[in-house]
Amino acid sequence: MFVQQVVLPRSRRESWTVLHEDGRPVEPVERYLGYLSDVERSPNTVKAYAHDLKDWFVFLSGRSLDWRQARLEDVGAFVAWLRLPPVARSAPISVLPSVREHCSEVTVNRKLSAISAFYQHAARNGVELGELLTRWQPAGRRGTAWRPFLHHISKSQPRRRSEVRLKAPRKQPRVLAAAEAQAILDACQRLRDRLLFAVLHDTGMRIGEALGLRHEDWAPPEGEIRVVPRDNDNGARSKSSQPRTIPASGELFRLYGDYMHGEYGDLDSDYVFVNLWAEPRGHPLSYQAAYDLVRRLRQKTQLDFDPHWFRHSYATRLLRAGAPVEVVSRLLGHASVATTDEVYGHLSSEDVRRTLEKVGWFTDKTVRL
């Protein structure tokens, strides 16, 4: 089986599907991925689900299991199978204990969550699933398990709910120090490039949201920039489903004005970030062009950074300054405050020391050491 990129005939949207070796689509997966595309889930999300479900169906095929008859024990075997190196999955090869697991705990949990969502969709559409995932709560979510028909009648009775999830280490988001952010901005030779990273720094936008900005989204009199979910010619997308408005600094708007006057000129385009020195001139800047720029700046600054670090830095800076988490969540465009708290509700050793100093732990001693 393999994952194949497709273009939907009616909307011309990019999507993904899973095919057998002979080119036939894996029908249950095709139906689910088609549903995700119909409800306008991100192509990157559809692609990730396609790869996750492909792994599940390859595993089932290797054991001659029908996807509707899989049991909880099969899910456990699938987790163990994912942890094996690919060469050992289809051959009787012994794996030494010193060999590192192929899939991390985070990756395994993501795949289990995708499979859970797939089965819940099938159950809602009347597919008989035996005893597997009709009550499987997706990894990382609470209270979102599917409730069957007439749940209100049987809710007082004991119910079985299976949750399969590996314990994964919690990674703290990587943030940029002020000097590092400044070094990246100063390494930009063009105003367009400096403006792109200044937007990420000053607003906490995702790189796709910045690449999709139009001139109409900038409101200098109000000091605000709007992030609007829309189809863009460069494939850039806003992960958030709802528009949001982000206050921005006067310095950012001045840089935008300098860019429009000094480099953009009389170019006729709706997009803010466009090709100015490469063909096709005037077309919106692509993800590939943006990441080529990132690679050049990495070499120049000797910082192995990612554009998303600016977003992490923005959120962490606001929270450390005392901004309420619900305000930060709204600025970031998170669907839930819980998402913001889960990602950024951490304390570094620096934060802990600052808190201890503030309450006088090191100076106001009642016990002499």
Active site residues: 206, 239, 308, 311, 334, 344
DSSP string, 251-306: HHHHHHHHHIIIIITT---SBSSB-SSSSSTTSBPPHHHHHHHHHHHHHHHT----
Residue 312 makes CB contacts below 8 A (sequence gap 6+) with 173, 174, 175, 176, 344
Cis ω before 280 (30° cut-off from 0): yes
The token pair at 61 is 């095929």
| Rg, Å, the chain Cα set | 25
Please state, in angstroms and rounded to a whole number, the distance separating the CA atoms of residues 114 and 110: 6
Which phi and psi (to 5°) does residue 360 adopt? Answer: 80, 25
The token pair at 90 is 């289809």
Q: Which residue has the tokens 């080119």?
A: 23
Cis ω before 43 (30° cut-off from 0): no
Please state, in angstroms and rounded to a whole number, the distance separating the CA atoms of residues 217 and 224: 8
The token pair at 314 is 């923005």
The token pair at 145 is 């398990």
